[in-house]
Amino acid sequence: MSNNVKHRTTCRLCNHSALELVVPIAATPVADAFVTREKLNEKQECYPLDMYQCLSCGHVQLLDVVSPKVLFCSNYSYFSGNSPGLVKHFQEYAEGVIRKNGLDQGRLAIDIGSNDGTFLKFFKNFGMKVLGIDPAENIARHANAAGIETLPEFLTKDLAAKICGERGGAQMVSANNVFAHTDDMAGMLESIRELLAPDGIFVFEVSYLADVMDKMLLGSIFHEHVCYHSVTPLQKFMQAHGMELIDVERVSIQGGSLICTAQKAGGKRAVSPSVGDMLSYEKQRNLCSPVTLKAFSRELESMRSEISGVLHKLHQQGKTIAGFGAARGGTLLIYHFNMGEILKFIVDDSPDKQNLYSPGYHIPVLPTKALYEQKPDYAFLLAWVHTKPIIRSNQAYLEQGGQFITCFPQVVIVNKDTTPFW
Ligand SMILES: [Zn+2]
């Protein structure tokens, strides 16, 4: 196997070695590693993306860990503050955390993976002292310039001890969408525990396994995202590290996520009924059993064979097929549904993606007007979560005889005579 990937043999949360392959997925290159014309000669390696479940705690995870030097070589320039939907979500989330946990002005709030400081800004506005930690130097610089003090570093136990020594323990530590992205989950949780004051809370947002399955959120399956969290294994993981889960809230961001709150074991806050409710819900759904994950896998397999069948038949008939949407999630679809040799080009509304080439197969990404100029017979919606708005804004493509293919909740071919559902 390549030096760029290592296969772990124990559960990332409980360290048990009984792990079962539950959802086999085609190996893909790093999902957002779109390349420029100059790099077309460089072959991009594919890495395994299979999902495993721990038979001891039920945690679902990737075991193949791609080296950070490969994962983060793509130009990382995502700023939370540029997404109005995310800013609004962070505001409601932050205000909820302050209110529900009775946080105090003048105390310290720390965000891990703080990006441009969008989340911390709401704690600062409330009157707390804030500190961001984010290893992406360009983003940390931007945050500092905007008045959110940010250390351009990875969180380690040493760094946590240093911060605590200098500033005292934090009343709130948060980690949003990063608490599923590290291979060393135990090390991360221990560092976070180190940062907390005795009355401190740890809040984190992660995408929720049940939503990934129910809504086929294939876009959330990618190499950096090594953990697919559910409450049952998380609660045990917290307990094993001297922490206690005290609240869980389901939110709709990113197709379905959990906001979890934890404190040091025996802390002053009472455990909310939401924790027990979620544990019962997961028990009733049998979410920690391979039987459930394997049912999801069969559903995915049946979707794969249907889509692959439809596309190959059209291809053999000489029809031209384009893809719509050059997002990270498309890479899994292209590989798993075997359409790399079939898509002539991909269109995307975002100028950032245009004139690049898709990871691995190097399919050209063109502006959306290519649908009207090159007139492909079909456009497959790689960004199918946005099916309705895409069809709504491209009625003219249907009028000119083009047809959209969307794949969820079922495979549907849309032409100008289709009864509108968008
Ligand atoms: Zn486990």
Q: What is the pLDDT of residues 157-183, one digit of tens each?
A: 999 999 999 999 999 999 998 999 999
Same-fold call for 80-288 versus 304-414: yes
Structure tokens, 192:
């976070």
* Bond into 409 cis (ω within 30): yes
pLDDT in tens, 4-17: 999 999 999 999 99
- Total residue length of the chain: 422
Q: Is 283 helix (H, G, I), strand (E, B) or coil?
A: helix
For residues 209-219, average pLDDT: 93
Q: For residue 57, report the distance from its CA to the centre of ligand 1, in Å.
A: 4
Cβ atoms within 10 Å of 342's Cβ, excluding its own: 23
Q: For residue 401, report the distance from its CA to the centre of ligand 1, in Å.
A: 52
Q: Is 400 helix (H, G, I), strand (E, B) or coil?
A: coil
The angle formed by the CA atoms of residues 234, 136 and 357, to the nearest 5 degrees, is: 95
- Is 80 exceeded by the pLDDT of residue 76? no
| pLDDT for residue 133 | 97
| pLDDT for residue 254 | 86
Superfamily of domain 80-288: Vaccinia Virus protein VP39 (3.40.50.150)
- What is the C-alpha R_g of the chain? 23
- Is 90 exceeded by the pLDDT of residue 352? no
Confidence of residue 73 (pLDDT cuts 50, 70, 90): low
Query: Within 13 A of 147's CA, how many CA atoms are on the CB side?
Result: 6
Q: For residue 222, report the distance from its CA to the centre of ligand 1, in Å.
A: 20
Q: For residue 164, report the distance from its CA to the centre of ligand 1, in Å.
A: 30
For residues 68-75, average pLDDT: 70
| pLDDT for residue 171 | 98
In sequence order, which residues have a C-beta less than 8 Å from that of residue 6 and are 6 or more positions away? 64, 65, 67
Structure tokens, 394:
């491209």
Cα–Cα dist 291/295, whole Å: 6
For residues 255-263, average pLDDT: 96
| Domain boundaries defined on the chain | 80-288, 304-414
Q: For residue 56, report the distance from its CA to the centre of ligand 1, in Å.
A: 5
Cα–Cα dist 376/304, whole Å: 22
Q: For residue 252, report the distance from its CA to the centre of ligand 1, in Å.
A: 26
Q: For residue 79, report the distance from its CA to the centre of ligand 1, in Å.
A: 33
Q: For residue 288, report the distance from its CA to the centre of ligand 1, in Å.
A: 10
304-414 folds as Rossmann fold (3.40.50)
Would you say 325 and 394 are in contact if contact means Cβ atoms under 8 Å apart?
A: no
Cβ atoms within 10 Å of 303's Cβ, excluding its own: 20
Confidence of residue 1 (pLDDT cuts 50, 70, 90): low
Parallel/antiparallel/unpaired status of strands 108-112 and 170-176: parallel
Confidence of residue 77 (pLDDT cuts 50, 70, 90): low
Sheet holding 365-366, edge to edge: 365-366, 343-347, 321-324, 378-381, 403-406, 412-414
Q: For residue 245, report the distance from its CA to the centre of ligand 1, in Å.
A: 17
| pLDDT for residue 394 | 96
pTM score of the predicted model: 0.94
| pLDDT for residue 420 | 86
Residue 257 carries which side chain, given as an amino acid letter?
S
Q: For residue 13, report the distance from its CA to the centre of ligand 1, in Å.
A: 5
